[in-house]
Amino acid sequence: MTTQAEPQVTYRMSIDGQARESSSGEVIEVRDKFDGALLGTIPAGTAEDAQEALDAAPDGARAWAATPAHRRAAVLKAAAAQVRVDRDVLSAMLSAENGKTIANARLEIDTTARILEGFAEEGLRLFGQTVPLDIQEGLESDLMLTVREPLGVMVGIVPFNFPAELYAHKVGAALAAGNAMIVKPPEDDPIVTMMLTEILHRAGVPHAALQVVTGYGHIVGQHLSSSPDIAAVTFTGSTEVGAIIAANAGRNIVRAFLELSGNDAFIVCDDADLDAAVEQAIAGRVYANGQVCVATKRIMVVRSRYDEFLERLRVRVAALRTGDQRDEATDVGPLISVAAARTVEAQIAASVEQGARLLVGGTRDGAFIAPALLEIDTRVGIATDEEIFGPVFSVLSVGDLDEAIDLANASRFGLNAAVFTSDVTRAIQAGRRIQAGIVSINGGNAYRPDVAAFGGYKKSGIGREGLGYTLDEFSQVKSIVLRGV
Ligand code: NAD
């Protein structure tokens, strides 16, 4: 692949109000995932850099918590407005550094603005209660008031697949609730998070209330999340790293909110609208090049409709276009790295070894995986229950909905699920039985309304994120009791 003219943009960390390089002098190069062009460098932060941010954060937390809620909301709204103004620049950078299509990147930037604005609004409704305590014998003349207070200093660790949107979910919520936040961006595509941080600072967030320490997870992320001086860590990423974060936080009695991996089921019943099901299966698997926690990862089709569904899906998968993520006609761009594509290639090979039939695609070219259609059975994937993070459609036939639900629930994960049926009773029953944070009826897995309580059952996470939920988690209740009034 050719390398274009290489602009040298040096991005710096934001620590204690200063734009900083790494104390080691080391940098990480961030490259376009299609042509390898250098987009810029970020500092490879050290544990000492992370510690400086931790030391500066309490002042930021105090200053921001003392800022009136209406002012905090105004700052977040101004930042959201600026994200809309900068939409084209932010989307272009996100698409280049991540590899997701420009259309997907625009969608993510639009969501980012909406989420920042949504949390600004939610921050204006952090109310407590007035509780007359005559509900309990002996306390007849007492009155209890509850107020919600910020947690303090929070650490936010962001994954590569939705760096802008998940930054907004973490930073927007933390700031709206009056906390200070130290962000650790993903190392493969951090630039959009640096740009968003600059927008928030310019909008009026004090530098000490929002700091960014870039670098590798096992160094910077590890140091920040193991600090006994933070109040909470909010992490989105793999279940493996989530377990490390939980252990670090647990040792220090620090709250850990974890949004982790998934292996979502997509169930097609005998009475399903197959046009809708095929459409949603495609949309749910190619979105962000298949690198989505809630992607359609295990498609289960009831036997009587299996052949028809498989044939329709085969035609659609074979027609998907891979290519430059900037090309509006591209369906699937490059994965985040050649190493990530090699992992998917190996998972396809292992599935075939276990008995899967590769019907379409599956070859690797650099960071590209040709969209693959894999016919599997219960010995494959479900037995190993591995998350495949790429454009791989794994399909298996099942006897009926009950069998599909049992297989869905056999997974150690439980993020989202999708069920296609025209029978309302069946739909509700399936919705109640499937162990997942969101069950979508006649829609795909990659479904996340801003207000939904988004989060995992089982090894997919701890806690719920969403406009109506995160602020409860990112704040704490204090009760003030008036006796004898
Ligand atoms: P990852 O776990 O490899 O990395 C996530 C972040 O953690 C990165 O910023 C990384 O630098 C950091 N990190 C790595 N090691 C660390 C350590 N020891 N201590 C602290 N931080 C560390 O995940 P990824 O590859 O960036 O993202 C893909 C994974 O994220 C998938 O499994 C996907 O399902 C999951 N994900 C989940 C959700 C959700 O909401 N549940 C959303 C998006 C992605």
Q: Using DSSP bridges, classify how beta strands 461-462 and 255-259 pair: parallel, antiparallel or unpaired.
A: antiparallel
Residue 330 has pLDDT above 90, yes or no: yes
For 107-153, the DSSP string reads: HHHHHHHHHHHHHHHHGGG----EEEGGGSTT-TT-EEEEEEEE--E
Is 90 exceeded by the pLDDT of residue 378? no
Instruction: Kindly tell me if the per-residue pLDDT of 4 is higher than 80.
Output: no
Cβ-based neighbour number of residue 228 at 10 Å? 11
Instruction: Specify the pLDDT at position 382.
Output: 59
Which pLDDT band, with edges at 50, 70 and 90, does 1 fall under?
A: very low
296-310 burial: b if 16+ Cβ within 10 Å, else e: bbbbbbbeebbeebb
* Cα–Cα distance measured from residue 244 to residue 240, given in angstroms and rounded to the nearest whole number: 7
pLDDT surpasses 90 at 252: yes
Ligand 1 center–CA 186 separation, angstroms? 8
Please identify every residue annotated as catalytic: 259, 293
Determine whether 361 is exposed, middle or buried from the number of CB atoms within 10 Å of its CB (0-12, 13-18, 19+): buried
User: Coil, strand, or helix at residue 308?
Assistant: helix
pLDDT tens string 159-168: 999 999 999 9
Ligand 1 site, CB within 6 A: 157-162, 184, 186-187, 217-218, 221-222, 225, 236-238, 241, 244-245, 259-262, 293, 387, 389, 415, 456, 461
Confidence class for position 3, pLDDT limits 50, 70, 90: very low
In this prediction, residue 2 has a pLDDT band, given cuts at 50, 70 and 90, of very low
pLDDT for the residue 446: 87
Give this complex's ipTM. 0.97
Ligand 1: residue whose CA is nearest its atom 35: 237
Q: What is the pLDDT of residues 391-442, one digit of tens each?
A: 999 999 999 999 999 999 999 999 999 999 999 999 999 999 999 999 999 9
Task: Please say whether the dihedral angle defined by the alpha carbons of residues 187, 24, 198 and 179, taken in this order, is positive or negative.
Answer: positive
